[in-house]
Amino acid sequence: MKSLNGSELASFIKERQAHQVRSLKQKPKLLIIRDSNDPVIMKYVGLKIRYGENIGINVENFKAKNSNEIIHKIKIANDDPAINGIIIQLPLSDKTNTDDLCNLIAPEKDVDGLGKNAKYDSATATAILWLLTGYDINLQNQKIAIVGRGKLVGAPLFKMFTASNYDVELFHRGSDLTKLKQFDIIISATGVPGLISDEFVKPGAVLVDAGTASEDGILKGDVAPSVRERQDLTAITPEKGGVGPLTIAALFDHVLQSAI
């Protein structure tokens, strides 16, 4: 069984990115806007800051008090030529205006690919595609299930796969998940720990766990531990180092493209 190790692939991408940054006259800059000190959010912000330091890209971590501060910061950053990428670290405390705020980011600086006019594809969706192709997982003539229709992963990935004419179906946490047993590739991103259990996964399946949730301070994925113990799967992402490292690599790839 293959382990879909995103950390391994990301290390090669990071070397290439560091070389690209060194060739630039001015260091690129990424702005991260958040409105929370939630442990999961802070973990991912910290990973992005360290990644930027490793390849030579400046990262500003801005904590907003409210939506008005977010709007003000985005407007200033849109007009600042020194800032090449802007992301809003989701989820926001008030999720009702997430779309409106993401859509305020200038399309050429929307490196997470979440605005309706973004120049770039979703960083997480791009990472999943990189992960599957990097480990020679064939997507043609395969039945693909995406579980979760969120803005960060499910919705953009479904759009990307549909555009490529893959045989893909979109599920949500309230769907009849017993149907997943019919699928060759399952990509889950609901943030519901243990949602994908043995009864939903057929032998030989490929599993990508892109879900993250915090339980008692411990980060957990969508795939149940018992599924990870099986030896009859074709491939599965590890508990840590699967999609996450490649998402950050894709994000910084977009920052670099914006800077060049």
The encoded tokens of residue 168 equal 């893909």
Q: What is the pLDDT of residues 82-102, one digit of tens each?
A: 999 999 998 898 889 999 999
**Overall pTM > 0.85:** yes
Q: What is the pLDDT of residues 133-149, one digit of tens each?
A: 999 999 999 999 999 99
| Fold matches, 8-121+245-259 and 138-233 | yes
Dihedrals phi, psi of 60, to nearest 5 degrees: -100, 130
Domain boundaries of the chain, sorted by first residue:
8-121+245-259, 138-233
The encoded tokens of residue 108 equal 């050429």
How many CB atoms neighbour CB 148 within 10 A?
24
Residues 6+ apart with CB under 8 A from 143: 167, 169, 182, 183, 184, 185
- Share of residues in the chain with pLDDT > 70 (%): 98
Would you place residue 214 in the very low, low, confident or very high pLDDT band (cuts 50, 70, 90)?
low
Dihedrals phi, psi of 14, to nearest 5 degrees: -60, -40
How many CB atoms neighbour CB 118 within 10 A?
21
- Predicted confidence at residue 208, as pLDDT, reads 97
Q: What is the pLDDT of residues 39-49, one digit of tens each?
A: 888 988 999 99
Q: What is the CATH T-level fold of the domain 138-233, as seen in this structure?
A: Rossmann fold (3.40.50)
Q: What is the CATH T-level fold of the domain 8-121+245-259, as seen in this structure?
A: Rossmann fold (3.40.50)
191 or 167: whose pLDDT is higher? 167
